[in-house]
Chains A and B, each alone.
Chain A
Amino acid sequence: MATVKIPPVLRPSVGGEKQVEADGASVGEVLRSLAAAHPQTQSQLFSADGELNRYVNVYLNDEDVRVLDGLETRVGEGDTLVILPAMAGGR
């Protein structure tokens, strides 16, 4: 069971929760179980072809999974997935 931290913009889709638990051995599996439990998140997290939506960043603990193995990135017991919207930084 992994913990998934939900950003404010997605909370209305998960009943207002700040974090939820979801099963899965990879990032893709965990996010698909989240979407199965909270169907409104499906179209926000995934594009039509099942890839991670462009403006969604997912971190395994604190590392962006896009520069790890994407949705195939392994998730262990006790790991946390953090979902964050892609925002401009910079100055």
Chain B
Amino acid sequence: MATPERLENRPCGGRYGDIVQSIGNTPLVELKRLSPKPGVRIWAKLESRNPTGSIKDRVAKSLIEDAEARGAIQPGQTILEPTSGNTGISLAMICKRKGYRLQVVMPDNVTPERTQLLQMYGAEIVYSDGSKGSNGAVELALELAERDARYYMPYQYGNPANPAAHYNGTALEILEELDEISAFVAGLGTGGTLMGNGRRFKEELGDSVKIVAAEPMQGEPVQGLRSLDDGFIPPIIDLSLLDRKIFVTNRDAIIWTRKLLDEEGLFAGVSTGAIARVAVRIANELDEGNVVFIVADDGWKYLSSGIYTRPVDEIENLDATVWW
């Protein structure tokens, strides 16, 4: 792979024709205070610097552009997607800019900022039963799409355009800046970030790079499955690409979200706290090398929950909220 000139401290992120084209090209920032030893460097890929504040801008752009390229959608058509927030917000911005209608199916127990952001970009919201977590949103969206052929559902959980956004984007940007990566750590949700980056890193760097998933341990109130057969595994996930898969409780995720803010001045969302916690654990197990982790979103959407200002024990609905 050709090595373009590195962007060290380049003052401008580039020039783009419109907001959608400006997605990506996010900074990679070293977090020296989090590093447990001198030979191990920890790098944060600030996906929070995308136009709507999350990594999902890349995914939404890829999903829509893929559908356009295949002729699957026409201007004015309604896009339908199950999402507990960030993908919906990204799709809403892109659909508004490109002239599509958007309906999102979202659990009714996410933070209120999400509803406001979705409405702000003109999306219509259909709420699903929060006690069923994201599974409930997926189930309801599939039912709605089944009933009405006018919908186009990109379906981020099963669409190869989701990991492709990272395979052809995020991963290449990181490889432009670092020659060696010992470990890559990201959150496991749809699996898109881990699959797309993981596949590219394994191809370019071989098995020496460890692909590590941090996943939410959902609180008991949102584990409301009637039976284990109601479980869900996103079709795009290939577990054989992962070297480690570690869960993080909501409490630890919030503690680490605060730690990022206090020690590194990094204002990020709750999943990033969980990812950072796992990244530092992996860094502790190494003698040297680069550990790259993903800052999946910024913290604005979580302000009303008080996680940045209140003691963790005073946060309401800690286990009844789908934080990420």
* Chain A interface residues toward B at CB < 8 A: 7-10, 44, 53-56, 59, 62-64, 66-67, 82, 84-91
Contact = CB atoms under 8 A, between A and B. Distances in A.
A62 B281 CA distance: 12
29 contacts: A9-B227, A59-B247, A63-B246, A64-B213, A66-B239, A67-B243, A67-B244, A82-B217, A84-B218, A85-B223, A85-B228, A87-B223, A87-B231, A88-B133, A88-B157, A88-B189, A88-B232, A89-B134, A89-B215, A89-B216, A90-B84, A90-B189, A90-B190, A90-B191, A91-B83, A91-B87, A91-B88, A91-B134, A91-B190
A55 B229 contact: yes
A87 B228 contact: no
Contacts of B234: 88, 90
B205 interface: no
Sorted nearest first, the 10 A-B pairs with minimum C-beta distance are A55-B231, A90-B189, A89-B189, A64-B245, A88-B134, A90-B190, A86-B231, A91-B86, A88-B232, A67-B245
Given A66-B245, A84-B217, A89-B324, A9 B133 contact: no
B135 interface: yes
Q: Which secondary structure dominates chain A's binding surface? A: mixed
Nearest to B137: A88
Interface of B: 54, 56, 83-88, 133-135, 137-138, 156-157, 187-191, 213, 215-218, 220, 223-234, 239, 242-248, 324
